[in-house]
Amino acid sequence: MRYPRDLHGYGATPPDAAWPDGAHIAVQFVVNYEEGGENCVLHGDAASEAFLSEIVGAQPWPGKRHWNMESIYDYGARAGFWRLHRLLTESAVPVTVYGVATALKRSPAQVAAMQAAGWEIASHGLKWVEHKDMEPDEERRQIAEAVRLHEIVTGERPLGWYTGRCSENTVDLITEYGGFAYVSDSYADDLPYWHEHDGKHQLVIPYTLDTNDMRFATAQGFNSGDQFFSYLKDTFDVLYAEGRAGAPRMMNIGLHCRLAGRPGRIAALGRFIDYMKNHDKVWLARRIDIANHWVRAHPFREHKDRPSQLSEEAFVSRFGGIFEHSEWIARRAFADELGPANDTAIGLHAALTAVFRSATEAERLRVLNAHPDLAGKLAQARRLTENSTSEQVSAGLDALTDAERARFTQLNSRYVEIFGFPFIIAVRGLSKDDILAAFERRIGNDHKIEFNTACRQVERIALLRLSRMLPN
């Protein structure tokens, strides 16, 4: 099985975002414009809308208009949008709009105001409806129609995309469609990243569902503007501190006209904007600005050397010797679940070690016996594997005095006689004296303890070998 989800991402050392002017944080405000694009029988839908409104526990009404739901969405277009527009423009905050194509078409005055303010208008899909059960061909059709209608309404093709109520295929379909500077149907990171699909690549700028006013309309959400402000402030403070310490991130803030556009909520948003603007080195940007920066600072680079993407023979050829003369470990790991998390030294080591630890005691004993004696006859005859040769040379075992060689020979013979397998230690970084001291200490162990100790050393040797081949 090849596990498609990437649970590793950037790992412990994400790249330096290198935001303009050395900013500690990039802050991005999104206004979701969905009013007039939601589920409604007037729009040809089977039922009324039931998502993100003041009506707690709303359910779709099949075949009927839901007057209260419609009027809540109407409020967003008629009043909430303009309140948000005033606050954001007067505060000189750059904005990206996630615009549902059919909603934009029904709101010409609002679109004109967005454009006059210099807001980016990204696509939020054709309609504000669920896509989870949509067949890929139908979703393709709707993506194409959304782009076509968006260009008619705004005069420009959208460069950003966010479905929101997406399917498992959405990001791949956007990558396949092409022409988008970014897609935001992901909540997977605090930084942009590259997605690959079928030989193409697509920049992903993750979005957020936590620093988002939608939590005013969800269980365990915000009950007051103070809670919204406090959560935004805490998020900003943590990310700003991380950026000041050398790891700049991105903060997304999601707004909806019918939610944050209410008087009792927008005041909190205003307080947060004032708080944020009291800090220096804050980059306020549209999503398209972030995309353009990321392409320049961190362009896509093809990764051809990913273990999880290799053929079986290529995988075994490359990693079959990580556990000495035991390529069956690599074959079993290849046959098991591998994914992006296994494309690093630590990740692949975990996969190989899982096979080793799951093996029978007899199989593990064969692995131990596949290792050569330290400074033994195979080393003298130059018949060690390349890895073992390099490791023994690194510890100076190729340059022993006669007395040292005699001591190693004596200890090797005694150790094998006691335990039935050669003495194994990860020698890289150790001196001859360190190795001899460990030898003499461990030779006094009982058999079970020493068998387990040797197995742990085999695993450590494997990690050291992988660390020279793959990123950590």
Q: What is the pLDDT of residue 77?
A: 94
Q: What is the pLDDT of residue 376?
A: 55
Tell me the three-class secondary structure of the chain, residue by residue. Answer: CECCCCCCCCCCCCCCCCCHHHCCEEEEEEEEECCCCECCHHHCCCECCCCCCCCCCCCCCECCCCHHHHHHHHHHHHHHHHHHHHHHHHCCCCEEEEECHHHHHCCHHHHHHHHHCCCEEEECCCCECCCCCCCHHHHHHHHHHHHHHHHHHHCCCCCEECCCCCCCCHHHHHHHHCCCCEECCCCCCCCCEEEEECCEEEEECCCCCCCEHHHHHCCCCCCCHHHHHHHHHHHHHHHHHHHHCCCCEEEEEEEECCCCCCHHHHHHHHHHHHHHHCCCCEEECCHHHHHHHHHHHCCCCCCCCCHHHCCHHHHHHHHCCCCCCCHHHHHHHHHCCECHHHCCHHHHHHHHHHHHHHCCHHHHHHHHHCCCCCCCHHHHCCCCCHHHHHHHHHCCCCCCCHHHHHHHHHHHHHHHHHHCCCCCCCCCCCCHHHHHHHHHHHCCCCHHHHHHHHHHHHHHHHHHHHHCCCCC
**Helix 136-154 and helix 170-177: axis angle, to 10°?**
60
Q: With 60 as the cut, is the pLDDT of residue 468 above it?
A: yes
Query: Confidence band (pLDDT; 50, 70, 90) for 37?
Result: confident
**Measured distance CA(35)–CA(206) in Å, rounded:** 23
**Measured distance CA(244)–CA(247) in Å, rounded:** 7
Where residue 438 falls (left for φ over 0; alpha for ψ -120 to 50; beta otherwise) is alpha
**Measured distance CA(336)–CA(364) in Å, rounded:** 19
Q: What is the pLDDT of residue 201?
A: 96
Residues 6+ apart with CB under 8 A from 402: none
Query: Confidence band (pLDDT; 50, 70, 90) for 381?
Result: very low
**Measured distance CA(150)–CA(143) in Å, rounded:** 10
Q: What is the pLDDT of residue 310?
A: 94
pLDDT tens string 96-142: 999 999 999 999 999 999 999 999 999 999 998 888 889 999 999 99
Q: What is the pLDDT of residue 403?
A: 83
Q: Poorest-confidence range of 85-99, 363-377, 408-422?
A: 363-377
Q: With 80 as the cut, is the pLDDT of residue 393 above it?
A: no
**Measured distance CA(344)–CA(308) in Å, rounded:** 10
Q: What is the pLDDT of residue 46?
A: 74
Query: Confidence band (pLDDT; 50, 70, 90) for 378?
Result: very low
Percent of the chain at pLDDT > 90 equals: 72
Percent of the chain at pLDDT > 70 equals: 95
Closest CA to 420 of 358, 366, 359: 366
Identify which has the larger pLDDT, 423 or 219.
423
Q: What is the mean pLDDT of the chain?
A: 91
Q: With 60 as the cut, is the pLDDT of residue 379 above it?
A: no
Most confident by average pLDDT, 35-39, 40-44, 220-224, 352-356: 352-356
pLDDT tens string 259-280: 999 999 999 999 999 999 999 9
Query: Confidence band (pLDDT; 50, 70, 90) for 48?
Result: confident
Identify which has the larger pLDDT, 45 or 183.
183
Query: Confidence band (pLDDT; 50, 70, 90) for 380?
Result: low
**Measured distance CA(362)–CA(39) in Å, rounded:** 63
Which residues have a catalytic role annotated?
A: 371
Q: What is the pLDDT of residue 236?
A: 98
Give the Å distances, CA to CA, from 108 to 97, 103, 105, 114, 461: 14, 9, 6, 10, 66
**Measured distance CA(313)–CA(320) in Å, rounded:** 10
Q: With 60 as the cut, is the pLDDT of residue 340 above it?
A: yes
pLDDT tens string 398-457: 666 778 888 888 888 999 999 999 999 998 888 888 888 998 999 999 999 999 999 999
Q: What is the pLDDT of residue 400?
A: 67
The one-letter amino acid at 166: C
